[in-house]
Amino acid sequence: MENLNLIYGKHAIEEFLLKHPKMVKKIWVKDKKYLEKFTNLNEFRIEVQITSEEKFQKMFSEYVNHQGMVAEVKEYNYIPFKTALANMNKKDKNVVLMLDQIHDPYNFGAILRSSSLMGVTNVIILEQRQVQITPTVVKTSAGTVYDLDVTKVTNLNSVIKQLQENNFWVYSTNLNKDSVDIRKVDFANNSVIIIGNEQKGVSELVTKNSDMNIFVPSTKSIDSYNASVAASLVLYEVANKLKIFG
């Protein structure tokens, strides 16, 4: 089961079925009554199997609160950058999240989950030296990765230049001497937020090519925030200032 894209929990799966029924391959349930409200399972050829508690737990390498429901979903389809940029150019506001070599799948999944809640338009990652959308990432994101447009690129600096040419303002999270407190930043309607690697942060060249360096204030009792926490805090600040929440 480890190589399957699995999501679990009644609420998460019910929401996924409403949004992306064509992406569901199979559902395991304790009781079919959980699925009574969904009359289109046959239409989308979704297999349903009654499963015991023992079999549920064998699906995962660690304990999860599956609530008697697990679903296998199809492999994620990445969005080409050219398509993503064309879609973004049709909008008045865009929040783009760029990840500079995130390696931990749990961090990546948590970042994607926050991105879906904060109105992120597109997530940009590297094709190499970056964790991809794996079953672990899908599970950690609670399936919300399928609500997002994720793009893989070969060179972040080339993409930064293209975004800047399309009137995007690029902000790198950094703790250098030039960094500005996020509370003091007037984020542009078209903003790119860059979150760096868990150990090294944003790379030197990416930092240099950004329009502004920003940081999240803290008590500084430890070095810095976890990458997924930093992403959530910055994205909330951007979404709030751009009135993404309405």
Q: Tell me the domains of the chain and their CATH numbers.
A: 6-73 (3.30.1330.30), 81-241 (3.40.1280.10)
Q: Is the pLDDT of residue 103 over 60?
A: yes
pLDDT tens, position by position, 193-211: 999 988 888 999 999 999 9
- pLDDT score of 41: 84
CA–CA separation, 18 and 60 (whole Å): 25
Cβ 130 vs Cβ 101: under 8 Å: yes
DSSP the chain: -TTS-EEESHHHHHHHHHH-GGGEEEEEES-GGGGTT---TTTTT-EEEE--HHHHHHTSSS----TTEEEEEPPPPPPPHHHHHHHHTTSS-EEEEEEE----HHHHHHHHHHHHHTT--EEEEESSSS--S-HHHHHHTTTGGGGS-EEEES-HHHHHHHHHHTT-EEEEE--STT-EEGGG----SEEEEEEEBTTTBS-HHHHHHSSEEEE-----SSS---HHHHHHHHHHHHHHHTTTT-
User: Quick check: pTM over 0.85?
Assistant: yes
Pairing of the two strands 47-50 and 122-126: unpaired
Share the mean pLDDT of the chain. Answer: 90
Would you tell me the crossing angle of helices 81-88 and 156-165 to the nearest 10 degrees?
A: 30
Location of structure tokens 């929040």: 95
In angstroms, how far apart are the furthest CA atoms of the chain?
59
Task: Tell me the C-alpha distance between 181 and 160, whole Å.
Answer: 22
Q: Please compute the mean of the pLDDT values over residues 11-22 and round it to a whole number.
A: 87
What's the whole-number mean pLDDT along residues 107-113? Answer: 95
Q: Which of 96-105, 151-160, 217-226 has the lowest mean pLDDT?
A: 217-226
Burial label for 109, CB within 10 Å (0-12, 13-18, 19+), is buried
| Residue 62 in this model has a pLDDT that exceeds 80 | no
pLDDT at residue 1 is higher than 70:
no
